[in-house]
A and B are shown apart, each in its own frame.
Chain A
């Protein structure tokens, strides 16, 4: 019940295209859903996050869409750029578990120039 399932495992898009990464969860106690971006040789860095009381959050080219009833959330990267090439992890946490992050398995995004 602690799992967060992420898809696809890898994604290749052309520069300027839209990248979409999907995640699903089971634990209804999760109430915070961040996305982390990780470049090779670096630790994950927080990209954007959402709480389940809103259905969408946008920051620049990055948007999270959240569907509470379906227990799914997704990251959309608009106008994808080669510099966005990285591994993206969705995650979830709950105050019940001291805000520990449960991560998805990651999506390796490649944006072709």
Chain B
């Protein structure tokens, strides 16, 4: 069964350092999402891509966070500099489309990257 791949699974870093997370969506999925999940809370959307274009990054703290999906396939989320409050699980999800029949909008999640900022 196809899965969304994320790496690393765990990342420990010190405050003010730079970190990067990688996501490889299910093959053929045009839409890619990055979510942040704080312990004990539901995931919150950071950025949505359709192919290589950003659909919505209104919740992305752009002073320190950046995301790219250069070839419309895999994606990288970067934080620079990391702050203590960034400690969370970073989840990537993908779907065939964002729009049209609901069956094509089902989001499949990766296992996430657990970030700890010391």
Point out residues on A near B: beta carbons under 8 Å.
Answer: 4, 6, 32, 34, 36, 41-46, 49, 51, 89, 91, 93, 95, 97-101, 103-106
B109→A43 contact, CB < 8 A = yes
Please tell me if the beta carbons of B102 and A101 are within 8 angstroms of each other in the complex: no
Given A43-B91, A46-B106, A103-B42: A98 in contact with B98 (beta carbons within 8 A): yes
B55 to chain A, nearest CB (A): 5
Rounded to whole angstroms, the CA-CA distance of A8 and B114 in the bound complex is: 25
Subset of 11 A-B contacts with CB under 8 Å: A43-B112, A46-B106, A46-B107, A97-B56, A98-B55, A98-B56, A100-B33, A101-B33, A105-B40, A105-B42, A106-B40
7 further A-B contacts with Cβ under 8 Å, apart from A98-B55, A98-B99, are: A43-B111, A49-B102, A93-B105, A99-B98, A100-B56, A105-B41, A106-B40
- Spot the interface stretch: B13-21, B43-51, B68-76, B78-86: B43-51
B87 interface contact, C-beta 8 A = no
- Which A residues are in CB contact (< 8 Å) with B95? 99
Please state if B110 and A106 are interface contacts (CB–CB under 8 Å).
Answer: no
Closest B residue to A51 by beta carbon equals: B102
Is the CB of B115 closer than 8 A to any CB of chain A? no
Are B41 and A100 in touch, CB under 8 angstroms? Answer: no
Please list the 6 inter-chain residue pairs (A to B) with the smallest Cβ-Cβ separation, ordered nearest first. Answer: A103-B42, A43-B109, A98-B98, A99-B105, A99-B98, A44-B109
Interfacial chain B residues near A45, Cβ < 8 Å = 108-109
Q: How far is the CA of A100 from the CA of B31 in the complex (A)?
A: 10
Residue of B nearest to A101 (CB): B107
Q: Which of B33, B42, B55, B102 contacts A89 (CB 8 A)?
A: B42
Closest B-chain residue to A31, C-beta based? Answer: B102
Q: Is the CB of A32 within 8 A of B102?
A: yes
Q: List, in ascending order, chain A residues with CB within 8 A of B40's CB.
A: 105-106
B43 to chain A, nearest CB (A): 5
Q: Is the CB of A43 within 8 A of B93?
A: yes
CA distance A101 to B56 in the complex (A): 12
